[in-house]
Chain A
Amino acid sequence: MNTNQLILRNLHKNIKNYYLYVFALIFSTALYFAFVTLQYDPAMDETTGSIKGAAAVRVASVLLIAIVAIFLIYANNLFIKRRSKEIGLFQLIGMTKNRIFLILSMENFLVYFGSLLIGTLFGFAVSKLIMMILFKIMGIDQVASLSFSIAAFLQTVGVFTAVYLIIMLVNYLYISRQTILSLFHIKSKTEAREKRISIFEVVIGLFGIGLIALGYYVSSRLFSGDFTSIQELFTVMLFILVSVIIGTYLFYKGSVRFLANLIRKNKGGYLNINQVLSLSSIMFRMKSNALLLTIITTVSALAIGLLSLSYISYYSAGKTAESNTPADFSFVNEEDLSVFTSALKEEGIPFNKETIKVLVAKVKIDDIVNGSAASLPVEDGVLPMPIVSDASIPKLNVGENQILFTGYSDAMKQIVQFSSSGTIVLHTATQSFKQQYMGLAKEDVLSGYFTKGRPTVVVDKALFEKIAQDLNKELQFNADYAGINVQDEDIKIANDIFQSLEGIQRSGNSSQFALLNRQKENMGLIMFIVGFLGLTFLITSGCILYFKQMDEGDEERPNYTILRKLGYTRGDLLKGIQGKQVFNFGIPLIIGLFHSYFAVQSGWFLFGTELWAPMFIVMGLYAGLYSIFGVLSVLYYKKVIRHSL
């Protein structure tokens, strides 16, 4: 038999082994090609296109290929291990390692580039869908066109060829390092040799937990003002990353094994079926599992964190627009206001109007501020703040000696914390008033033109009059706030009118609707890219776990045969397997969620104003999608068990 025949024969025989690898390949090529097609789409053109941000897309495509490369190399490793016996056999009958490598590479070449082609076609098919999603997220009204981009194709082929070469290199190193004997035995090698619970393990595990806790702690201090320069911030971030990742690894390596060992020791060899299938199997592979679990945990944490942050900003877009322009339209100019309202009347659009008189006075706030207020223009604990009368806000009522702050975002709360009560001194030009501070209300009253990120001060009508008598001239706006609200169904037309009237869009006048759209467009692309990468993270890490479980399932099939011969039913076995999968998929998910929670906590306020809702939505979705892989793996085990007798 010559080499060519051997290659074809092998290919034919190994089709079943290959399917896992082929799937990984087709999937990643499709993903990459679709993404790169996007990058070369005319809509992406910096000057003429409707989407700005080609640079972001380019960076993302580099990241994408990095993930994909790791994913493919991992899949290839699993795959070559499955064939170790065959490689050993070739060696046994006297083939040189080089020749085996050649055969394997040829075989691989056919599969690899075949899948690449199929994947490209798939990617082409879904690229329009992806483009449509992007337009939708960004709120762009444009029909996505479908065109095959030669440039994208060449880039895909180039990049994947490079990955192929890397894989070949890995295979070469693998083959040249193996002896005949080790190739035959690779499958039954136990990875957990320690039989005694060593004190060392406990220490390592505890040390890991300590590192994670330290990382969490430092992350909570990240933006508290302890670290100010960018240089410092980066160093600290790097420190957090490294300490959490290493901590996670040590945790898996030490604690998990220690706990498992402890349970097993306690049983004194008397294990029930669930423990046989979960505990012992997990421990049997703890060494490779620790690394894998660390990678999966890190990747999940990264994905959840990034997704949460970008979703926070996307989700907060509405909130941000609202706090900037509490009414549908805000004006600071009488003339512009009357131009707009008469235009609305002409169109027959009903609206209601509120005007609020705004004064500015210096407020001494340092008695009620916890921590630093560096982000606000505070001088000697005194901050000029916009003041309104409670008479102009029907919802709020303030006593004569009282003072209330309102309209302050969750995000600002992270930076400056106000206590819930205290005394405040209000300075007018010549007088000062000592007031009792009543706390912070959420209501947005004024537009961003007046607040500039500060809360609005609400005082009693009488005090407001007194302040008006004694104004500090240079602080005043010389304008009143006016808000126009229209019915929800009229908002689009009203906005068109606002945009079409000449001269009224000057600073201070704003449309909530337009602001929201602008926010969405800005955040949309980032959101899309991060979402795309996050999804890739999710799918690749899910696939890797799934592949690993497939591998384990096939490897443990003889065990299921024995157990079934001994009289355990399929149901018994499946129950044990479920326990094992809860561990394999659940632990990295839970720890990943914790990591991302702390990461998001440390800096979310830089991205938006809402934390909980968007974060929980992202986490829930991620956990849901991720669990699909766990369910799939259980189904796979079910099949293996069914065929095991």
Chain B
Amino acid sequence: MTVLEANKIHKSYGNKFTRQEVLKGIDVSIDKGEFLTIMGASGSGKTTLLNVLSSIDRVSHGTIHIEGKELTGRKEKQLAEFRKHHLGFIFQEYNLLDTLTVKENILLPLSITNASKKEANAKFTSVASELGIEDVQHKYPNEISGGQKQRTSAARAFIHEPSIIFADEPTGALDSKSASDLLDKMSELNQKRKATIVMVTHDPVAASYSSRVIFIKDGQIYTRLYKGDQTRSSFLKDIMKTQGVLGGVQYEH
């Protein structure tokens, strides 16, 4: 079943004179429970794509449907409502409120859904221990490290068990151990709860956790890779090869 379907989306920035077209007609369709990775060179429009898919930004042309409902053209209030209940975000810049402690940041999405305090605390404890940020829960964001911020941001995206999680470079600031912990957690959410995940990354290892990778170049989809029945390591090889071709550097054995 298709959760998200985007048709011929275009996105340009700037006014008439400084117009820059970042997305030039992209079609994507994401199935329920899929773990999709978007890759591409820096500045190729990955964050932009993620933003329009997640209703944070508006497309210039094209349509986006989530669960059969059209997003484009909906009122800002309806979009906000939708994001609140169905989407989770891990942003490229950590995007934590610096006036709130780690715990308060993480609990933010729950406060809208009228969850009881007890329930909220239980969820917090489990997600925080899985991501290893229990020790810093009472600290403010400017008192913790970049990696801790990223894990906090991830915990916030997971806590209300959204149906789609959008993650922009979730492992960018993490060492390989914490990165794989976070990715394991994401796959687990993906497999056990059938949460749909859309992730942007530069890291082929991170990408190899997913079931499909699409590569973007010059605002268009350059190619797609499916994991299928391969093992993760052979999928990783494929990804690295494509990345090499895309970057103009031939991949060598």
The reply to whether chain A is a binding partner of chain B is: yes
| A interface with B by C-beta (< 8 Å) | 185, 188-190, 195, 268-273, 276, 280-281, 283-284, 556, 558-559, 561-571, 645
- Asked if A562 contacts B87 (CB within 8 A), the reply is no
Q: Is the CB of A188 within 8 A of B112?
A: no
Could you give 27 example pairs across A and B, Cβ below 8 Å? A188-B98, A188-B142, A190-B99, A268-B117, A269-B101, A269-B106, A269-B107, A269-B124, A269-B137, A270-B104, A270-B107, A270-B110, A271-B108, A276-B100, A280-B99, A280-B104, A281-B99, A559-B97, A559-B99, A562-B91, A562-B95, A562-B97, A566-B108, A566-B109, A569-B77, A569-B80, A569-B81
Q: Is B82 on the interface with A (CB-CB < 8 A)?
A: yes
Minimum CB distance partner of B88 in chain A: A566
Q: Which residues of A contact B81 (CB under 8 A)?
A: 567, 569
Not counting A188-B142, A565-B91, A570-B76, a sample of 18 additional A-B residue pairs whose C-beta atoms are within 8 angstroms of each other reads: A188-B98, A269-B101, A269-B103, A270-B120, A271-B100, A271-B104, A271-B107, A271-B108, A276-B97, A284-B98, A561-B95, A562-B95, A566-B108, A567-B83, A567-B85, A569-B80, A569-B81, A571-B77
Complex alpha-carbon distance, A182 and B137, angstroms: 25
**Shortest Cβ gap from B18 to chain A (Å):** 18
Is B83's CB under 8 angstroms from A559's CB? no
Which of A280, A565, A569 is in CB contact (< 8 Å) with B89? A565
Known: A270-B117, A280-B104. A563 touches B83 (CB 8 A): no
Q: Is the CB of B107 within 8 A of A190?
A: no
Chain A residues whose C-beta falls within 8 Å of the C-beta of B82 in the assembled complex: 567
Question: Which residues of the partner chain B approach A570 to less than 8 Å between Cβ atoms?
Answer: 76
In contact, B100 and A564 (Cβ under 8 angstroms): no
Q: How many whole Å from B225's CB to the nearest CB in chain A?
A: 29
- B109 near A268: Cβ-Cβ < 8 Å: no
- Nearest B residue to A284 via CB reads B99
Which B residues touch A273, using CB under 8 A? 111-112
A566 & B83 in contact (Cβ 8 Å cutoff): yes
In the complex, the 8 A-B pairs of residues with the closest C-beta atoms, listed nearest first: A567-B84, A567-B83, A269-B103, A284-B99, A569-B80, A280-B99, A562-B95, A272-B111
Chain B residues with Cβ under 8 A from A185's Cβ?
142
* Nearest B-chain residue to A280, judged by Cβ: B99
Q: How far is the CA of A189 from the CA of B140 in the complex (A)?
A: 10
Whether B245 is near chain A, meaning CB under 8 Å from some CB there, is no
B193 in the interface (beta carbon within 8 A): no
| CB-defined contacts of B224 to chain A, threshold 8 Å | none
- Cβ B140 vs Cβ A563 within 8 A: no
Q: A310 vs B17: C-alpha distance in the bound complex, in angstroms?
A: 62
B176 within 8 A of A: no
| Assembly CA distance A283 to B140 (angstroms) | 12
Q: A611 to B143: give the CA distance in the assembly, Å.
A: 55
Kindly state whether residue B191 has any CB partner on chain A within 8 Å. Answer: no
Q: Which residue of the partner chain, among A268, A558, A562, A564, contacts B80 with CB atoms under 8 Å?
A: A564
For residue B216, CB closer than 8 A to chain A, the reply is no
Q: Which of B76, B80, B111 meets A271, CB within 8 Å?
A: B111
Whether B56 lies near A568 (C-beta < 8 A) is: no
Closest chain B residue to A556, Cβ basis: B99
B103 touching A567, Cβ below 8 Å: no
Distance between Cα atoms of A284 and B138 in the complex (Å)? 14
Question: How many angstroms between the C-alpha atoms of A190 and B56 in the bound complex?
Answer: 29
Contact of B87 among A270, A558, A559, A567 (CB under 8 A): A567
Give the chain A neighbours of B107 by CB distance below 8 A: 269-271
Q: Which residues of B contact A281 (CB under 8 A)?
A: 99
What's the Cα separation between A362 and B108 when bound, in Å? 80
Q: Which residue from B56, B104, B138 sits with its C-beta under 8 Å from A565?
A: B56
Once bound together, how far apart are the Cα atoms of A270 and B138, in whole Å? 12
Nearest Cβ distance between residue B84 and chain A, in whole angstroms?
A: 3
- Asked if B121 lies at the interface with its beta carbon under 8 angstroms from chain A, I say yes
Closest to B116 in A: A270
- Which A-chain residue is minimally distant from B56 (CB atoms)? A565
B38 at the interface (CB under 8 A from A): no
In the bound complex, what is the Cα–Cα distance between A563 and B100 (angstroms)?
12
- Cβ–Cβ < 8 Å partners of A562 in chain B: 91, 95-97
- Residues A268 and B121 in contact, CB atoms below 8 Å apart: yes
Known: A270-B117, A273-B112. A569 touches B76 (CB 8 A): yes
Provided the pairs A284-B99, A563-B97 are in contact, do residues A568 and B121 lie with their beta carbons within 8 angstroms? no
Query: Distance in Å from the Cβ of B235 to the closest Cβ of chain A?
Result: 31
Please give me the residue from chain A that is nearest to B101 by CB atom. Answer: A269
Once A562-B97, A567-B84 are accepted as A-B contacts, the answer to whether A190 and B111 lie under 8 Å apart by CB is no
Q: Chain B residues near A561: list those with CB within 8 A.
A: 95
Q: Which of B114-141 contact A (CB under 8 A)?
A: 117, 120-121, 124, 137-138, 140
Chain B nearest Cβ from A60, distance in angstroms? 42
Contact residues in A for B80 (Cβ distance below 8 Å):
564, 567-569
Q: Mark B58-98, 1 if CB is under 8 A from A, else 0.
A: 00000000000000000011001111110101010001111
Contact residues in A for B108 (Cβ distance below 8 Å): 271, 276, 563, 566
Nearest CB of B to A77, in Å: 21
Chain B residues with Cβ below 8 Å from A568 are 80, 84, 112
Bound: A569/B112 CA distance, A? 12
Expressed in whole angstroms, the Cα–Cα distance for A567 and B142 within the complex equals 24
CA distance A188 to B109 in the complex (A): 23
Q: Which residues of B contact A188 (CB under 8 A)?
A: 98, 142
- Residues of chain A lying within 8 A (CB to CB) of residue B76: 569-570
A645 touches B56 (CB 8 A): yes
Q: What is the CB-to-nearest-CB distance from A248 to chain B, in angstroms, rounded to a whole number? A: 25
Question: Are A270 and B111 in contact, with the CB atoms below 8 A?
Answer: yes
A58–B98 Cα distance when bound, in Å, is 49
Whole-angstrom distance between the alpha carbons of A559 and B85 in the complex?
A: 19
A195 and B138 within 8 A (CB)? yes
Residue ID in chain B nearest A571 by CB atoms: B77
Indicate with 1 or 0, residue by residue over B192-205, a CB within 8 angstroms of chain A CB atoms: 00000000000000
* Among A284, A567, A645, contact of B112 (Cβ-Cβ < 8 Å): A567
Residues in A neighbouring B84, C-beta threshold 8 A: 566-568
A271 to B107, alpha carbons, bound, how many Å? 8
CA distance A191 to B97 in the complex (A): 15
Tell me the bound Cα distance from A570 to B77 in angstroms.
8
> How distant is A431 from chain B, measured CB to nearest CB, in Å?
83
A518 to chain B, nearest CB (A): 59
Closest Cβ–Cβ distance, residue B122 to chain A (whole Å): 12
Complex CA–CA separation, A645 to B142 (angstroms) = 23
How far, in Å, is A6 (CB) from chain B's closest CB? 26
**Cα of A280 to Cα of B138 in the assembled complex, Å:** 13
Instruction: Name B85's closest neighbour in chain A (CB-CB).
Output: A567
Bound: A272/B115 CA distance, A: 11
* B98 cross-chain contacts in A, Cβ below 8 A: 188, 190, 284, 559
B110 partner residues in chain A, CB cutoff 8 A = 270
Query: Looking at B85, B104, B109, B143, which has the most chain A CB atoms within 10 Å of its CB?
Result: B104
Which of A195, A565, A569 gathers most chain B CB within 10 Å?
Answer: A565
**Closest CB in chain B relative to A314 CB, distance in Å:** 47
Known: A270-B120, A273-B112. A190 touches B97 (CB 8 A): no
Contacts of B83 in A (CB 8 A): 565-567
Docked complex Cα distance between A214 and B81 (Å)? 52
Give B93 Cβ to nearest chain A Cβ, in Å: 9
Instruction: List chain A residues, Cβ under 8 A from B120.
Output: 270
**A276 contacts B142, CB within 8 Å?**
no
Closest to A279 in B: B99
In the complex, how many angstroms separate the beta carbon of B111 from the nearest chain A beta carbon? 5
Name the CB-closest residue of A to B111: A272
Alpha-carbon distance A532/B103, docked complex (angstroms) = 50
Q: Which residues of A sit under 8 angstroms from B143, Cβ to Cβ?
A: 190
What does the 1/0 interface line of B174-201 toward A look like (CB < 8 Å)? 0000000000000000000000000000
Chain B residues lying within 8 Å of A271, measured Cβ to Cβ, are 100, 104, 107-108, 111
